[in-house]
Amino acid sequence: MSDRLPHILRADALNNRERILEAARALFAAEGLNASMREIARRAGVGPATVYRRFPTKQMLVAEAFADEVRACHAIVEEGCADPDPWHGFCRVIERVCELHARNGGFTGAFMSAFPGATDVAATRRHTFDSLAELARRAKDTGHLRPDFVLDDLILMLMANRGIAATSTAARVTAARRFAALVIQAFHAHRPETA
């Protein structure tokens, strides 16, 4: 019996951890990163001490809550950069990132926030933006991306995409896809007609 007790406690601890992460994701999506640790604990059905035992800082909780999205965002950018057609890769990044952010409303805030001590998130974000800057440079070289495009335009796009409000995830994704199409159209370099 005593040999099985630690395993049972470990399973219980894992269950608590998952409930905390689910509650954090839901609250961050609904309220942004200002959601309190106490409210996350209440929503997860655990005490605040349990939350702090698993995640000593809010930054650690945010980083863990959005770890899958950060990895997905990184993969999207890497795939876009690997596309032999930089404009096509750039467009795919916009489409897929808008959709990713629409599926989880709290992720944009987490990705854009600068949490002191959250070096893994900051390093991933920096690498992602550096990769996007290189992809944008290559897309400009093809003549497809507007020559006045700057990386801040993508940040503005992310902030605007975050503002999409819909009652369901499917409706947000549909709206995000439409928004991405409009952004791509705005970023496209319109060449003068030749006679």
Q: What residue ranges of the chain are covered by domains with CATH 1.10.10.60?
A: 5-65
Those residues with Cβ within 8 angstroms of residue 128's Cβ, 6 or more apart along the chain or in another chain? 73, 74, 77
Average of per-residue pLDDT across 155-164: 85
Q: What is the DSSP letter of 145?
A: B
pLDDT in tens, 3-16: 544 445 477 778 88
CB 33, CB 109: distance < 8 Å:
yes
The CATH 1.10.357.10 portion of the chain extends over 67-187
**Structure confidence at residue 113 (pLDDT):** 60
**Domain 5-65 class, CATH top level:** mainly alpha
**Number of neighbours of residue 140 by Cβ within 10 angstroms:** 18
Check pLDDT > 80 for residue 121.
no
Counting Cα atoms < 13 Å in the Cβ hemisphere of 72 gives: 15
The pLDDT score that the predictor gives to residue 122 is 67
Question: With 60 as the cut, is the pLDDT of residue 56 above it?
Answer: yes
Give pLDDT, residue 104.
74
Looking at per-residue confidence, does 167 or 50 come out higher?
A: 50
Question: For 13-23, what is the mean pLDDT?
Answer: 89
Question: Looking at per-residue confidence, does 35 or 84 come out higher?
Answer: 84
pLDDT of residue 4: 47
pLDDT score of 157 more than 70: yes
Query: For the chain, what is the mean pLDDT?
Result: 84
CATH 1.10.357.10 fits 67-187, yes or no: yes
Which residue type is seen at 30? A
Sign of the Cα torsion 34, 38, 44, 49 reads positive
- Predicted model pTM: 0.76
**For 148-165, what is the mean pLDDT?**
88
pLDDT of residue 105: 66
Least confident of 7-16, 28-37, 76-85, 158-167: 7-16
- Of 135, 150, 146, 137, the closest CA to residue 189 belongs to 146
Q: Which has the higher per-residue pLDDT, 58 or 190?
A: 58
